C-alpha cells in the first residue's frame, strides 16, 4: 500500500473539503471553506488548505491557514484567521503530525516566521500557550422560563428587569441590520480602545453562512443600542461579534440581547449556547461566569522559526497601553476609517 501523502488542495477540491468538515465530529465553523473564503474576500489574506490523503486518495486530515501580513504585527500563518478556533483537524494523531510538518514546510517556502494554531490537535514539541483564554459554553434549557431559572439569581434579576423594560429586539440579515450592527460594534470597540474590523468582514461572513448566521439587535426608542452577529453550527449558537453603546449598560440592553439570543436560537433548533472565549481576569470573563457558565481553559500552539519572537496582538498588553488610551479618545469617524487598516493585520 502506498504511503499517505499531503498536498495543498486547490479550490477545485471544494466538495471534498466541505465533505470532510461535514463528517468530522470535531469540526468548527472556522475549519469550513465558507469561513476561510469569507476571510480572504474581506481582508485579502490568502488562505492555504493543507490536505492529508490516504492511499485511496481520500482526505483524512486538513489544516486551513490564512497568511496574515501586517506592517505593524508582522506575518503569520494562522489557523484560522479572525477565529477563536480552528487548527488541525485529522482522523488521528499521526496524521495531525504530518499536517504540522507540512505547515512548517509551507511557512519556510513563504518566508513566514510563525504559525499560530487556535485549537485543534496541538503538535508535539510546539510551544503551547495556556492560562490566557477560556471558553464558555453550556446546554440551553428547554424553554424561556427554564432558561431564566438556569441563570444565577443576581444575574437573573437583571435579566427580568430588562424583560420588563421598553427595549425591543429585532433579528435579520438585511442592509439595515448590518448597518446598525456595525455602528454599534464599532462604537463599542472604540470605547474599549481597540481598532474595529473592516465592515466587509461582517458582510462576507453573513453572506458565506447564509441562514446559519444573523444579527440580533436591541433597540431603545427604535435606536440600536446593542447588537450581536451570531453563527449557528451543529445545534450551537455562537454570539461572535457583539457590543453595545455606552447607554446599553444602564438600559440592561446586553442582558436582554443574550437572553433573547438564547430564545431565538432555540427557535432555530439549537440546543447549546457557546458564549465564546475571554481572557482570564477580564470583565467579559467575569460577566460570562455571572451567567452561570463554567470556564474551560483553552490551549493554543505556535511554531516559530529560529530566532523569531511571537507576534504580540494582545490589546491588553502593556506594550499597547498608551495606544489604547489614545484610541478611546478618537472621534468615531476617525476610528472607523483608520481602525480597519490596523485590525485587518491582527488576523
Q: Say how far residue 283 (Cα) sits from the centre of its chain.
A: 18
- What's the number of CA atoms in the CB half-sphere (13 Å) around residue 251? 20
96 plus 107 within the same structural domain: yes
What lies within 8 Å, CB to CB, of 78 at 6+ separation is 65, 66, 68, 115, 116, 118, 347
Report yes or no on 11 lying in a domain. Answer: yes
Residue numbers of the domain that contains 262: 133-297
Domain containing residue 117: CATH number? 3.40.630.30
266 plus 161 within the same structural domain: yes
pLDDT computed for residue 317 by the predictor: 62
Report yes or no on 330 lying in a domain. Answer: no
Report yes or no on 331 lying in a domain. Answer: no
Contact by Cβ (8 Å): 77, 116:
yes
φ, ψ for residue 75 (rounded to 5)? Answer: -110, 150
96 plus 10 within the same structural domain: yes
117 plus 138 within the same structural domain: no
pLDDT computed for residue 2 by the predictor: 39
Cell output for 89 = 483537524
pLDDT computed for residue 310 by the predictor: 80
211 plus 151 within the same structural domain: yes
pLDDT computed for residue 4 by the predictor: 45
Report yes or no on 150 lying in a domain. Answer: yes
116 plus 256 within the same structural domain: no
98 plus 240 within the same structural domain: no
171 plus 227 within the same structural domain: yes
Tell me, what DSSP letter sits at residue 294?
Answer: P
CA distance 307 to 326: 32
pLDDT one digit per residue (tens) for the chain, 347 residues: 334 445 555 445 789 999 999 999 999 999 999 999 999 999 999 999 999 999 998 999 999 999 999 887 889 999 999 999 999 999 999 999 999 999 999 999 999 999 999 989 999 999 999 988 999 999 999 999 999 999 999 999 999 999 999 999 999 999 999 999 999 999 999 998 889 999 999 999 999 999 999 999 999 999 999 999 999 999 999 999 999 999 999 999 999 999 999 999 999 999 999 999 999 989 999 999 999 999 999 999 999 999 888 876 665 666 656 776 787 788 888 888 888 888 887 88
Q: Say how far residue 164 (Cα) sits from the centre of its chain.
A: 32
- What's the angle, vertex CA 101, arms to CA 95 and CA 102, rounded to 5? 90
Question: Strands 272-279 and 168-172, how do they pair?
Answer: unpaired
Report yes or no on 162 lying in a domain. Answer: yes
CA distance 188 to 200: 18
182 plus 141 within the same structural domain: yes
Three-state SS across 169-236?
Answer: EEEECCHHHHHHHHHHHHHHHHHCCCCCCCHHHHHHHHHHHHHHEEEEEEEECCEEEEEEEEEEECCE
pLDDT computed for residue 316 by the predictor: 61
Report yes or no on 316 lying in a domain. Answer: no
Contact by Cβ (8 Å): 226, 254:
yes
158 plus 273 within the same structural domain: yes
pLDDT computed for residue 315 by the predictor: 59
Cell output for 313 = 496582538
What lies within 8 Å, CB to CB, of 335 at 6+ separation is 186, 190, 195, 196, 327
10 plus 120 within the same structural domain: yes
Alpha helices per DSSP H over 49-174: 93-110, 144-150, 153-163
Number of domains within the chain: 2
293 plus 148 within the same structural domain: yes
φ, ψ for residue 62 (rounded to 5)? Answer: -140, 155
Report yes or no on 242 lying in a domain. Answer: yes
Report yes or no on 164 lying in a domain. Answer: yes
CA distance 130 to 127: 10
Amino acid at each position: 500500500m502506498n504511503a499517505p501523502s499531503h498536498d495543498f488542495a486547490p479550490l477545485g477540491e471544494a466538495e471534498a473539503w466541505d465533505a470532510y468538515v461535514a463528517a468530522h465530529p470535531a469540526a468548527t465553523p472556522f475549519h469550513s471553506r465558507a469561513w476561510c473564503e469569507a476571510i480572504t474576500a474581506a481582508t485579502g489574506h490568502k488562505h492555504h488548505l493543507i490536505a492529508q490523503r490516504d492511499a485511496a486518495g481520500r482526505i483524512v486530515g486538513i489544516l486551513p491557514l490564512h497568511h496574515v501580513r501586517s506592517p505593524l504585527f508582522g506575518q503569520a500563518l494562522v489557523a484560522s484567521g479572525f477565529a477563536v478556533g480552528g487548527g488541525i483537524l485529522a482522523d488521528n494523531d499521526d496524521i495531525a503530525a504530518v499536517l504540522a510538518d507540512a505547515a512548517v514546510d509551507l511557512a519556510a517556502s513563504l518566508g513566514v516566521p510563525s504559525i499560530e494554531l487556535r485549537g485543534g490537535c496541538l503538535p508535539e514539541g510546539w510551544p503551547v500557550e495556556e492560562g490566557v483564554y477560556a471558553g464558555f459554553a453550556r446546554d440551553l434549557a428547554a424553554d424561556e422560563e427554564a432558561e431564566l431559572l438556569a441563570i444565577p439569581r443576581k444575574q437573573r434579576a437583571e435579566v427580568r428587569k430588562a424583560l420588563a423594560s421598553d427595549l425591543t429586539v429585532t433579528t435579520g440579515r438585511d442592509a439595515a441590520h448590518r448597518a446598525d450592527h456595525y455602528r454599534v460594534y464599532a462604537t463599542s470597540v472604540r470605547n474599549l480602545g481597540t481598532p474595529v474590523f473592516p465592515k466587509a468582514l461582517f458582510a462576507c461572513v453573513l453572506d458565506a453562512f447564509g441562514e446559519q448566521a444573523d444579527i440580533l439587535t436591541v433597540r431603545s426608542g427604535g435606536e440600536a443600542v446593542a447588537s450581536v452577529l451570531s453563527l449557528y453550527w451543529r445545534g450551537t449558537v455562537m454570539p461572535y461579534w457583539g457590543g453595545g453603546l455606552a447607554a446599553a449598560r444602564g438600559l440592561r440592553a446586553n442582558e436582554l440581547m443574550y437572553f433573547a439570543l438564547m430564545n431565538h436560537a432555540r427557535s432555530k433548533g439549537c440546543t447549546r449556547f457557546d458564549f465564546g472565549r475571554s481572557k482570564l481576569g477580564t470583565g467579559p470573563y467575569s460577566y460570562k461566569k455571572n451567567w452561570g457558565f463554567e470556564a474551560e481553559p483553552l490551549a493554543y500552539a505556535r511554531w516559530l522559526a529560529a530566532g523569531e519572537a511571537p507576534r504580540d496582538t494582545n490589546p491588553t498588553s502593556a506594550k499597547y497601553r498608551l495606544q489604547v488610551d489614545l484610541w478611546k479618545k478618537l472621534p468615531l469617524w476617525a476610528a472607523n476609517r483608520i481602525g480597519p487598516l490596523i485590525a485587518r493585520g491582527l488576523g
